[in-house]
């Protein structure tokens, strides 16, 4: 039986970006399937009384400096292109609605990769719909349909419901990965996810 890795993400998280870059190799190793699940991180934080570590430690310069250093070190040692977005913190509501609309479509992975790279490699401001349109067009994605879905109240509501469902499942931040009933939080838990997948080969 093929194992599934549920990848719960929001484009606004640099840690989710780095985990996303690592997951294909891990999935290939274990012949597992990646199931991306978009959520609104702001909704997760509100529901769980949590907040971004950069916000939580905003007055601790040593801690925030370390967090930034750790992101760059993680990327550098794994050969991943990464730049801290000049627009951080990111308002991701539009691109996450687009991600919900993209779910299970043949071009879902192309959409996810294009948006993640736009933010964390190229430093683009995806909050601006004009910028997002250019990103989608360059990636040869269905621009009009995605823009319509982003504006649709139903998409907004369904993304909120999916966010609530993931909170009920135990999610308090992103990236969160599930292998069966086991949850693994953060990019630094990928090693434990690897061990878990190996147990069930």
Q: How far is CA 45 from CA 76, 82, 123, 165, 198, in A?
A: 29, 25, 24, 14, 31
The tokens of 141 are what? 């994605």
What pLDDT is stored for residue 1 in this prediction?
Answer: 79
What pLDDT is stored for residue 41 in this prediction?
Answer: 98
How much is the average pLDDT of 129-137?
97
Each residue's pLDDT tens digit, 98-131: 999 999 999 999 999 999 999 999 999 999 999 9
How much is the average pLDDT of 43-50?
98
What pLDDT is stored for residue 127 in this prediction?
Answer: 96
**Range(s) of the domain holding residue 51:** 4-199
- If pLDDT is split at 50, 70 and 90, which confidence band does 47 have? very high
What pLDDT is stored for residue 201 in this prediction?
Answer: 77
The values of phi and psi at residue 110, to 5°, are -65, -40
What pLDDT is stored for residue 174 in this prediction?
Answer: 98
What pLDDT is stored for residue 44 in this prediction?
Answer: 98
What pLDDT is stored for residue 170 in this prediction?
Answer: 98
HSE of 16, CA atoms in CB hemisphere, 13 A: 28
How much is the average pLDDT of 128-151?
98
- The domain spanning residue 11 has which CATH number? 3.40.30.10
Per the prediction, the chain carries an average pLDDT of 97
Q: Are strands 176-179 and 4-9 parallel, antiparallel or unpaired?
A: antiparallel
Each residue's pLDDT tens digit, 161-180: 999 999 999 999 999 999 99
Residues 6+ apart with CB under 8 A from 130: none
Q: How many domains does the chain have?
A: 1
Q: How many CB atoms lie within 10 A of CB 182?
A: 13
Each residue's pLDDT tens digit, 56-86: 999 999 999 999 999 999 999 999 999 999 9
What pLDDT is stored for residue 17 in this prediction?
Answer: 98
């Amino acid at each position: 039986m093929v194992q599934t890795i549920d990848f719960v993400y929001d484009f606004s998280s640099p840690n989710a970006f780095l985990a996303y870059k690592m997951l294909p190799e891990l999935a290939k190793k274990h012949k597992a399937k990646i199931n991306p699940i978009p959520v609104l991180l702001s909704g997760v934080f509100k529901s769980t009384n949590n907040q971004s570590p950069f916000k939580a430690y905003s007055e601790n310069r040593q801690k925030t400096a370390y967090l930034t250093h750790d992101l760059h070190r993680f990327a550098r040692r794994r050969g991943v292109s990464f730049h801290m977005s000049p627009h951080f913190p990111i308002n991701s509501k539009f691109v996450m609605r687009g991600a919900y609309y993209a779910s299970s479509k043949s071009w879902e992975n192309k959409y996810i990769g294009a948006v993640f790279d736009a933010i964390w490699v190229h430093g683009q401001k995806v909050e601006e719909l004009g910028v997002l349109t250019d990103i989608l067009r360059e990636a040869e994605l269905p621009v009009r349909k995605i823009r319509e879905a982003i504006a649709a109240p139903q998409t907004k509501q369904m993304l909120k419901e999916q966010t609530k469902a993931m909170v009920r499942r135990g999610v308090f931040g992103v990236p969160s990965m599930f292998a069966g009933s086991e949850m693994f939080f953060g990019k630094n838990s990928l090693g434990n996810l690897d061990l878990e997948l190996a147990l069930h080969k």
